[in-house]
Amino acid sequence: MVEILLSDRKNIGLTQLQELLQNGFTCDFNDIEPWLTDWRGRYTGKALAMISPISTEQLSQAIKICAKFEIPIVPQGGNSGMVAGATPNDDGDSIILSLRKMNAIHYQRTTPNLILCEAGVILQNLHDAASEHSMRFPLTLGGKGSATIGGLISTNAGGTQVLRHGNMRALVAGIEAVLPNGTIYDGMSALKKDNRGYDITQLLIGAEGTLGIITKAKLKLVPAIQDRIGIWVGLESPHKAYEFLLHMSQRCGNQMEGFELISEASITRVLQYIHGTRLPINPQPWYILIELVQDCDDSKNVQILAETSLAEPLNDGLILDAALSTNETQLEDFWKLRDSISEAERAAGPAFQHDISVPVHRMADFIENISPQLEQKFKGCELIAFGHMGDGNIHYHVKAPDGVSQEHWMPLEKQVNSAVYDAVISYGGSISAEHGIGQSKLEELERVSDEARLFALRAIKKSFDPHNIMNPGKLIKPD
Ligand SMILES: Cc1cc2nc3c(=O)[nH]c(=O)nc-3n(C[C@H](O)[C@H](O)[C@H](O)COP(=O)(O)OP(=O)(O)OC[C@H]3O[C@@H](n4cnc5c(N)ncnc54)[C@H](O)[C@@H]3O)c2cc1C
């Protein structure tokens, strides 16, 4: 009886949503189906309907209906997230909220360092819009053709230029959001100083849609790049890489935008599986990819800066070999080697993937001590470490022994993940550096977090969203 009443209430809510949104509402399975599975293909859920509002006001009305009838909402941008945060769970109780129709961009010459965009704007389109005004939005990542501003803000995304420009949190000047009761939070004035208590904007950044829906943002721009160069370096070990990072940071200051660590094993697979890739130097145990940029008149010429900075580490044997990109195509080729690692690895066989961080100065120790321990514990597996070493963030993958199928490797997932995350915590690190928690790290966050963190996360969630309608089952479980 109670169930019938509940589903009746939901049906009334769905009817009201349909009346409000008209063709921005669908419960046709064919429309919804492509959005029910996460990017990695690990989770598939069910949904009652999908709504695609065209404005903040319309969304606010829709959320008031959802709040009244307690219909859970799963916000979704480009569905390129790595932790299944935008995938509904499989009880089929919720609706998907697609922000993709809200995709306007406005640039005003009176505020040249800011750009306003709606949540559904795709990152690549924002890059293009900024460059039309000789400006640049400096955050970039491999999923830029799909990832949206709402998703990037909600996951506090990182990417390859964090070393200089910070993650999304550092690049947001203001946001507008619809809160779980349908009210509109206006934090768009982009004030440099604003001490009205809790910073609600920062609270919503990285909240993975569990506290409200981001509808608009004012984002910070920097001047467009005048010139840039890629440096591909070969060296012996992660420890040498850390010393090299210190050297290059001192010599290049904030002209160095990325410092990416890559292992020989990763590159071997890229060369094997990704068509048209070529290593610019002879094979070495480890590689670093650096990008130096020149974007203001008093910055140094990148070619000269690269050559002078490399002379000493080459002479001293800190690095073994180096190649500089001579044009944009070559630089793109360097990045292709780096960006294709995950794809090549997928082709090579199953792996458990971890996006982790430890303090920058401890990363080399972590890789060199923990990898052999895990290889010993899970016989035959291979540890692959690559990524944003300059930020203390690597992607740390535990690859199944050669010839072991996905089916036989999967039962070990929980055990392997726990071993990796315990090691990360013992190094003072985080089990999620830039991808968020979503569904896939929910249990582990509970397991490894201290009481104070869990208390604060639950208290915030409960006070914003007492009926748990905002992306339930993601980030934090209510009490
Ligand atoms: C090839 C590739 C490379 C990548 N590289 C990186 C990388 O280097 N660094 C990095 O950080 N990430 C990376 N990612 C992951 C991904 O691109 C980011 O997590 C991105 O922020 C997700 O954006 P999205 O629009 O696809 O969000 P979705 O996947 O749709 O959603 C992500 C989360 O945000 C919530 N959400 C979405 N829109 C809103 C909104 N408007 N309001 C409230 N909540 C919302 C969702 O509910 C979900 O919890 C990569 C992805 C791919 C495919």
> What's the pTM?
0.95
Does ligand 1 have an atom closer than 6 angstroms to the CB of 119?
Answer: yes
Distance from CA of residue 451 to its chain's centroid? 26
The pLDDT tens digits for 34-74 are 999 999 899 999 999 999 999 999 999 999 999 999 999 99
Q: Which of 108, 24, 100 is nearest to 62 (CA)?
A: 24
Start-to-end Cα distance in the chain: 27
Task: Give percent of the chain with pLDDT exceeding 90.
Answer: 92
CB of 302 closer than 6 A to ligand 1?
A: no
Whole-number CA gyration radius for the chain = 23
What CATH number has the domain spanning 105-223?
Answer: 3.30.465.10
Q: Is 152 in the pocket of ligand 1 (CB under 6 A)?
A: yes
Q: Does residue 155 have its Cβ closer than 6 Å to ligand 1?
A: yes
Identical fold between 227-341 and 349-448: yes
Name the strand (E) or helix (H) holding 186: strand 184-187
Q: Is 103 exposed, middle or buried (0-12, 13-18, 19+ CB in 10 A)?
A: middle
- Select from 216, 228, 132 the least CA-distant residue to 172: 216
Q: What kind of fold does domain 2-101 have according to CATH? A: 3.30.43
Among 117, 120, 33, smallest CA distance to 76 is for 120
Structural fold of domain 349-448: Alpha-Beta Plaits (3.30.70)
227-341 has which CATH code? Answer: 3.30.70.2190
Mutate to test the pocket of ligand 1, among 50, 59, 76 (most ligand atoms within 8 A of CB): 76
Please tell me if the CB atom of residue 387 comes closer than 6 angstroms to any atom of ligand 1: no
Ligand 1 centre to CA of 327 (Å) is 31
Which uninterrupted H or E stretch holds 130? helix 123-131
Q: Is the beta carbon of 208 within 6 A of some atom in ligand 1?
A: yes
- For residue 217, report the phi and psi dihedrals to the nearest 5 degrees: -150, 150
The residue whose CB lies within 8 Å of the most ligand 1 atoms, and thus the one to mutate among 82, 152, 437, is: 82
Give the chain's mean pLDDT: 95
For 14, residues 6+ apart whose C-beta sits below 8 A from its C-beta are 27, 48, 49, 71, 95
The residue ranges of every structural domain in the chain are: 2-101, 105-223, 227-341, 349-448
Tell whether the model's pLDDT for residue 323 goes beyond 60.
yes
Site to probe by mutation for ligand 1, drawn from 80, 95, 162 as the one with most ligand atoms within 8 Å of Cβ, is: 80
Q: Are 178 and 56 in contact (CB under 8 A)?
A: yes
- The H or E element that residue 352 is part of is strand 351-357
Best of 50, 155, 259 for a ligand 1 pocket test (most atoms within 8 Å of beta carbon): 155
Q: If you measure from the C-alpha of residue 236 to the centroid of ligand 1, how many angstroms do you get, rounded to a whole number?
A: 34
- DSSP H stretches of helix in 253-356: 264-273, 302-316, 328-339, 341-348
Biggest distance spanned by C-alpha atoms of the chain: 80
User: Which pLDDT score is estimated for 6?
Assistant: 62
Structure tokens at 260: 């990416």
| pLDDT band for position 346 (cuts 50, 70, 90) | confident
Confidence of residue 8 (pLDDT cuts 50, 70, 90): confident
Per-residue pLDDT reduced to its tens digit, 240-270: 999 999 999 999 999 999 999 999 999 999 9
Q: How far is CA 449 from CA 379, 396, 413, in A?
A: 29, 20, 20
Q: Which atom of ligand 1 is nearest to the CA of 154?
A: 34
